[in-house]
Amino acid sequence: MQSLKVVDYMNQHPVEFDVEMSVAQAVELLLAKQQTGGPVVDHNRCVVGFISERDCMEKMLASSYYREQVARVKDVMRTDVLTVRPFDSIIDLAQMMTGQKPKIYPVVDDLKKLIGTISRRDVLHAIDVQLHEGYKAVG
């Protein structure tokens, strides 16, 4: 099972955000794509942050309470983004995900450019497929 790689199970067309996008636009995109969060990229598609439903919800609540101006993604995104590489092990990633780590990881190339994302659901799917194939080989 150690041969399972991120590249084989990652989402190659993830939702992505721009720093200047409004939080309201980000929410609409999250809802439309049925994602819980996604990477924020610069004009070169390098990952510069991450925004989640929770980040958006907190800002939208504050905005509605204080009747503030529209917030931008850059105002609420996290900049300490944990990323993975395409040929990293799914098993290693699964072990990282069992702690308090993110539910979604941007997958980046050597230049930190976004090439996909991988979520807990993707990792569970990879392990499930591998286990089923193992049962078939034994049976």
Q: What is the tens place of the pLDDT at every residue in 59-99?
A: 877 766 556 667 899 999 999 999 999 999 999 999 999 88
Q: How far apart are CA 14 and CA 39, in angstroms?
A: 8
CA angle 117, 123, 128 (to 5 degrees): 145
How far does CA 119 lie from the centroid of its chain?
A: 6
Query: Would you state the pLDDT for residue 135?
Result: 57
Residues for the chain: how many in total?
139
For 112: left if phi > 0, alpha if psi spans -120 to 50, otherwise beta; the answer is left
- The pTM of this model reads 0.86
Query: Would you state the pLDDT for residue 10?
Result: 97
Q: How far is CA 35 from CA 7, 16, 30, 53, in A?
A: 19, 10, 5, 8
Whether residue 122 is predicted with pLDDT greater than 90 in this model: the reply is yes
Mean pLDDT calculated for residue range 41-58: 94
